[in-house]
Amino acid sequence: MGDTKAQTRVDETQEFGALTDGFHLVIDALKLNDINTIYNVPGIPITDLGRYMQAGGLRVLSFRHEQNAGYAAAIAGYLTKKPGICLTVSAPGFLNGLTALAHATTNCFPMILISGSSEREIVDLQQGDYEEMDQLAIAKPLCKAAYRILHAEDIGIGIARAIRAAVSGRPGGVYLDLPAKLLGQTMEAEAGARSLVKIIDAAPRQLPAPEAVERALELLRSAKRPLIILGKGAAYAQADDDIRALVEKSGIPYLPMSMAKGLLPDTHPLSAGAARSLVLKEADVVMMIGARLNWLLSHGKGKTWGDRPKKFVHIDIEPREMDSNVEIAAPLVGDIGSCVSALLDGMGKGWVAPPAGWIDEIRAKVESNVARMAPRLQNNNVPMDYHGALGVLRAIITERPDAILVNEGANTLDFARSIIDMHQPRKRLDVGTWGVMGVGMGTAIAAAVETGKPVLAVEGDSAFGFSGMEIETICRYNLPICVVVFNNGGIYRGTDVNPAGGSDAATTVFVKDARYDKMMEAFGGVGVHVTSPDELSRAVNAAMDSGKPTLVNAVIDAEAGTESGRIGNLNPQSVVSKK
Ligand code: OXT
Ligand code: ADP
Ligand code: MG
């Protein structure tokens, strides 16, 4: 162990043979509940905790910034259905991790932010302790639950409560406050072992009421133009076979939300992904499965949804989600696995598929949109545009369907979402409900660590900058991650000019011709600079074959993007004209 204090504690434990302490109780409690990976940034007061964790057989990955460790923990929770753990120091480290905790809560990902904290007595009297902050109070409004453990004998219960709160019902973020003093507290080892709690059934199934199932089926049977919308809650639920069976048995076309792409392959004949506008406008009954009617679905009303009257079936584990934006004619509250299997049972043998005219109309729209896009994906323009570059990456994901695609940016995100077909569940990880930049490297790292699969991270140059230092982390752990930076020299575009004409760059513009590939080389990874789709294809294929940490700096036409990608309409307009 690193310092003499830590050494002494271990020796004492060995000498008396009957003592344990807060450090080891935390570790034992996590291990007892099958939590084996920790995403952290070390420092006072949790440096030794990380060391003991590593010594105790946990995998402890150290990051360069807590926000990235937090994003890693959040997506680890999404991928595994176990809470991802982020471990930080007090006040500033805690605050750095807090954005990710709020992001996890917003996205319904199970995560626990564990932060060390300073002396309670001094913090509460505001006497100016080292990194003084009332962390529990600050965390509370930003997460699903927040707990503080003051006594070693409560560690087992405290960790059990945190885990259960994170994964049961609607999953979310939990804050767990561990004051420095707690870690050093000792207790008899046997009593300590007895105080630990092995959680039974952390996320119990929640069966839907039979009458709610019948109501939903009744509505679906009456539909002439039914539609299923699959959200990332459906992907999280890991009820993949039943969801596919429901779509195929019902014959109802489905629209995947961004991270639900691949739950059924995007090439599936019932996919309406490439006919989004049409199906939202023209459907008469819409069944939401693990998706919310939030901004991403225009709150279920308005122009996007057209004039045709709609009725909604909504499957969600959170009862308060019902009627949150529009009236829900058939609420189906329960876990997705149970709800979908109840619907399948209830459909029985006599189920009649939706009218062929509806299916044909959707297929025609899908085919025309796909055909319109196809030639643009073949272009070999230099400088590259988004279509040329993404056409190449689309082919790579088709050839390597088990690779995980991480994606952030504005144009880089929006074009990639519609261009890159996904073929397997939970392979597309992106900015989620908040559209947050900075999730990229943390997400890529956790995806590689938790699944062992190769990862392709397609990043806008701005997006990459939020977490770019973590490429050192990628190299340190030698992870099979290929980062492609779509380098158009700026946020949305690289061509803006300072309207005041001064020497300062425009607000959205970066250094021209930046060589992000050199950053990767600095840490021993492979850096490649490419300017054409052919070069991009070669570089990414080589990276995916070798599994070596690689960063491909892909030069994109600085004029190719649009303001805010496909959500420019959300920008407020000034009444005073722009200069
Ligand atoms: O049906 P129609 O005809 O409508 O067509 C649709 C589909 O049917 C069709 N389609 C297809 N056609 C053919 N083939 C296929 N396979 C196919 N599939 C689909 O295509 C169209 C479009 O389909 P889509 O995309 O599904 O539909 P639509 O209408 O776009 O859907 C609406 C939405 C809302 C669901 C969708 O647009 C969406 O999911 N959007 C998410 C947007 C988002 O989250 N954006 C990120 C935030 S933007 C901004 O805030 C940024 N910031 C600020 C900032 C942030 N975010 N965070 C923090 C911490 N700080 C600051 C910043 C700094 S972005 C950004 C950086 C940007 O710069 P970068 O350098 O990183 O990136 P570049 O822009 O590349 O430079
Ligand atoms: P998207 O952004 O893909 O539309 P959202 O994050 O808006 O998806 O919605 C996910 C929904 O899934 C949340 O309302 C959440 O309560 C729900 N959810 C998550 N896990 C389950 C589950 N196992 N069973 C039922 N609902 C779930
Ligand atoms: Mg850019």
Strands 254-256 and 285-289: unpaired
Mean per-residue pLDDT over the chain, rounded: 96
Does residue 192's CB lie within 6 angstroms of at least one atom of ligand 1?
no
CATH of 210-363, one of 3.30.70.330, 1.20.1050.140, 3.40.50.300, 3.40.50.1220: 3.40.50.1220
Model confidence at 6, pLDDT cuts 50, 70, 90, reads very low
State in Å: Cα 335 to ligand 3 middle.
39
Backbone angles phi, psi at 405, to 5 degrees: -100, 120
Is residue 89 predicted with pLDDT exceeding 50?
A: yes
The CATH superfamily holding the domain 20-195 is Thiamin diphosphate (ThDP)-binding fold, Pyr/PP domains (3.40.50.970)
Model pLDDT, residue 12: 52
H-state helical runs in 378-488: 386-399, 411-419, 440-451, 461-467, 471-476
State in Å: Cα 320 to ligand 1 middle.
28
Does residue 170's CB lie within 6 angstroms of at least one atom of ligand 2?
yes
Does residue 166's CB lie within 6 angstroms of at least one atom of ligand 2?
no
In order of 98, 141, 175, 197, 362, the CA distances from 436 in angstroms are: 14, 19, 21, 36, 32
Residues of the chain with CATH 3.40.50.1220: 210-363
The arithmetic mean of pLDDT across residues 210-217, rounded, is: 98
Model pLDDT, residue 527: 99
Task: Determine the Cα–Cα distance for residues 420 and 273; give it in Å rounded to an integer.
Answer: 11
H-state helical runs in 58-130: 66-80, 91-107, 120-124
State in Å: Cα 561 to ligand 3 middle.
8
Residue pointed to by tokens 């961004």: 258
List CB contacts of 475: < 8 A, sequence separation 6 or more. Answer: 520, 523, 524, 525, 549
State in Å: Cα 484 to ligand 3 middle.
12
The arithmetic mean of pLDDT across residues 538-545, rounded, is: 98
Model pLDDT, residue 2: 44
- Is the CB of residue 254 less than 8 Å from the CB of residue 263? no
Dump pLDDT digits (tens) for 118-158.
999 999 999 999 999 999 999 999 999 999 999 999 999 99
Is residue 285 predicted with pLDDT exceeding 60?
A: yes
Nearest CA to ligand 2 atom 20: 233
The arithmetic mean of pLDDT across residues 456-484, rounded, is: 99
CB-based neighbours (< 5 A) of ligand 3, an ion: 460-461, 488
State in Å: Cα 490 to ligand 3 middle.
4
Model pLDDT, residue 352: 96
How open is the CA angle 446-259-207, to the nearest 5 degrees?
Answer: 100
Task: Determine the Cα–Cα distance for residues 262 and 274; give it in Å rounded to an integer.
Answer: 14
List CB contacts of 568: < 8 A, sequence separation 6 or more. Answer: 562
516 is written with which tokens? 């992000």
Task: Say which amino acid occupies 388.
Answer: G
Q: 326-344 burial by CB neighbour count: b if 16+ within 10 A, else e?
A: bebbbbbbbbbbbbbbbbb
93 is written with which tokens? 């480290």
Residues of the chain with CATH 3.40.50.970: 20-195, 378-562
Model confidence at 64, pLDDT cuts 50, 70, 90, reads very high
Closest listed ligand to the CA of 563? 1
Model pLDDT, residue 1: 42
State in Å: Cα 405 to ligand 2 middle.
20
181 is written with which tokens? 């003093």
Does residue 437's CB lie within 6 angstroms of at least one atom of ligand 1?
yes
Residue pointed to by tokens 């009332």: 134
Model confidence at 16, pLDDT cuts 50, 70, 90, reads low
Task: Determine the Cα–Cα distance for residues 577 and 579; give it in Å rounded to an integer.
Answer: 6
Question: Angle at which helices 22-32 and 155-167 pack, to 10 degrees?
Answer: 40
Task: Determine the Cα–Cα distance for residues 322 and 295; give it in Å rounded to an integer.
Answer: 16
Model pLDDT, residue 15: 54
Q: 169-191 burial by CB neighbour count: b if 16+ within 10 A, else e?
A: bbbbbbbbbbbbbbbebbbebee
User: What is 148-162 written as a DSSP string?
Assistant: E--SGGGHHHHHHHH
Nearest CA to ligand 2 atom 16: 170
List CB contacts of 562: < 8 A, sequence separation 6 or more. Answer: 411, 492, 493, 568
The pTM of the full predicted model, rounded to 2 decimals, is 0.97
Nearest CA to ligand 1 atom 44: 435
Question: May I ask the CATH class of domain 378-562?
Answer: alpha beta
Strands 111-117 and 455-460: unpaired
Model confidence at 261, pLDDT cuts 50, 70, 90, reads very high
Model pLDDT, residue 349: 87
Counting Cα atoms < 13 Å in the Cβ hemisphere of 120 gives 12
Model confidence at 8, pLDDT cuts 50, 70, 90, reads very low
List CB contacts of 388: < 8 A, sequence separation 6 or more. Answer: 376, 377, 378, 379, 380, 381, 533
SS3 283: coil
The fraction of the chain above a pLDDT of 90, given in percent, is 96
Model pLDDT, residue 17: 63
Nearest C-alpha neighbor of 141 from the set 172, 187, 182? 172
Dump pLDDT digits (tens) for 363-383.
999 999 999 999 999 999 999
Model pLDDT, residue 4: 44
Dump pLDDT digits (tens) for 379-438.
999 999 999 999 999 999 999 999 999 999 999 999 999 999 999 999 999 999 999 999
